[in-house]
Structure 1
Amino acid sequence: MIYMDHSATAPVRKEVFEVMEPYFTKSFGNASTFYSLGREAKAGMEEARENVAKLIGANNDEIIFTSGGTESDNIAIQGIAYKLNNAGKGNHIITSAIEHPAVMETCSALEKKGFEVTYLPVYEEGIVKVEDLKSAIKEETILITIMHANNEIGTIQPIAEIGKIAKENNIKFHSDAVQSVGKIPVDVNELNVDLLSISSHKIYGPKGVGALYIRKRTRLEPILYGGGQEKDLSPGTENVAGIVGLGEACRLAKEELDENIPYITNLRNKLIDGILNSVEKSYINGNIEKRLPGNINFRFTGIEGESLVLMLDAKGIDGSTGSACSSKKLTASHVLKAIGLEDVDSHGSLRLTIGPENTEEEVDTVIKEIPPIVEKLRSMSSIWEKEESLLKDNTKRCDI
């Protein structure tokens, strides 16, 4: 199997699993208890908190643990929205048109409760323009939430500039960094963020656990109620083994980041060049430079991406058409629509995302397998028939 869907999830690393295992069997105590088993669990959690903080340049007490990126996004966005709206500060939120569903659906729910949301365009490159952000700010603006890197097309947003503008206007700033943390350098102070969301399973940790960075003196309205754990924001018995796994995944990511970035980038560039040079009418969705090291989002005219994914799967190659969180929806990707693609082109897209365990030999295999599959799918496609007719007509005109 050649696995190239790391934006969807990553396997738990052996080192991560090994540090987690004792917290299932030996140090299994409830971290809220005071006897030795509870203290052992608590100590494991606090070491993990330190490792998460170190990865993003934060203080330990600015990290809370959650069940994953979705909960982190919801706590951040709803927590700020309700806190500041209740205080009479305003009801306006600014986000982008390509956010993860965890942000988009949260903003949509807030709109139904009377909040106003501005969705900034990202244009063909898939990147927010700072000028648009400045124009969207009004007196009632209380929150800006813009993802650091997109989960489908991998484009990296100008978060530091956005954060600076937010700070100058006394607006709270949240960034969903689920796809960027552990893959590119992330420093919460350099990025000027007040809140930042993290997910464990994107960086070789376990599923069902995440973290939220909350800058000191940033106050949130609780959206969940329970036993008071994690500063009353994510209450409930802590997933200690998962948290310890997240901490170890963060420690390893920090240790290996400088080595992984050039290695993965080189594999990505080789794969891009190999496919674009061997498949006509193939394109890259989103900015080719300002994107995550391992992200490639191809577009092939005249085919269905789902069919391509299934045929690649038959060859032992795992890829996707886009966000795993939206894969059951039959509608075209909102991200690809936002960069100006028609539905027919959106459906012909393929996302391949590379991790450090992928090899050059695997990339060579993918470059070899994709062209004949695309050719076969096009031979059965009425869309491609029309495209070929247009190409022939244009060629005749050029000859005349």
Structure 2
Amino acid sequence: MTAHTDPGTARSRLRRTAAAALALGLLAPLPAAPAAAETPQDPASLTPVHPFKGEDQPCAATGGDLVEQTPWTHHFLGLSRAHDLSTGEGVGVALLAPEVDGGAPALADAVEGGQSTDCLGFGTSLAGVVAARSVEGSGLLGVAPDASVTAVATGSPRTGLVSVQEAAAGIGRAVDSGARVVLVGTGTWEASPALESAVADAEEADVLVVAPATVPTSRGPLPGHPAQNASVLSVAAHDVEGLPMAEGPLVLPSGDLARVDLIAPGDRVVGSGPGGGHVVTSGDGVAAAFVAGTAALLMAREPELSAEQVRERLSTTAYASPRGDADPLSGHGRVDPLAAMAIAPGGTPAGVVGEGFVPDPSPYGSVDAPPTAAVVSVTLLLIVLCVLGGVVIKRGRARKWRPAAHGEPVPFGEAVR
């Protein structure tokens, strides 16, 4: 017996079969995605770099790996909005570091006086934090992407160690370079009259010195110099949540607490590496680089500000600690680039002189108070007259328009109903 199939049913089965075949085709094995190591997206996969290393330890093994995502520091500091106000154009930042690879793509037009290599990789990463340019396939952009960086070779390229004499001489050369900001990439744990004199010369030349609050050593962190000088912006690191990374305050030989003016990102920070790739670094040195870049933004926007005024602005507009300015771990608080450029000292909004706002005439006419009141009054009067007129008409109809006789009650209630 041959089964007869309805033509509509056959077409329906055919459509279901075609859909199933299409689904199987879409579920066919796809080419494997590139391995994470080929296009790293997690900063943890990047080469870590440090300010110091042993004499016999190899140089940092950096490559061409780039992180495509925008680093957390960019969002945390609100740099996209800050760049609407300033990009640091025309401001020079002198960087004291053993070496800086000025040939890295993100730094090719940003660094002057750089070397072609950087054994530690730390100096190159700091330069990238300050002024890295936009590169295709990279999410990294410097705090002040239009500022210029002058590399001032300071310290041992093999170990990163910096003597007090080298630091003092480096600050002197940085001031002579014409830079408005001096970033001490790595401080020393010793003070000296020569270092104090170099800082005083920078202050007299109206140059802002920014330095890490501490220096890492085999004995743990020690107070950094020249950061203990009152005219220097002393910067400590905070983590991805904005909390100070220091476990506790440090004490100077005098018994005083070590100075901290500001805190800035210093935890798992993505920076430029030698050869053009990205590296990751941490510590007070990289935090100081963020503050130096912020100073460049402010100086480009308000070039008439002195170094002292810039230091004051960055301090008074920082996101304050709940403990106030006396917090030994965070000082005035977290640096805030946008607030520094939008808020004047003392917490008042920065503005410009102009004329009072006068709105254009409304296309629907004026809404001045006297004419409006007259219109409303007339409208209410008309409404009352209409209501009374309605009552009169109802009463008239109820009486068939016959006048009421003497003593006859008026059927008001009935008329209303």
Note whether the superposition's TM-score is higher than 0.5: no
Highest RCO, 1 vs 2 (Cα 8 Å, sep ≥ 6): 1
Query: Which TM-score band applies after superposition, normalised by the shorter structure?
Result: under 0.3
Whichever structure has more helix as a proportion of its residues is: 1
TM-score calculated relative to the size of structure 1: 0.28
Structure having the higher Rg: 2
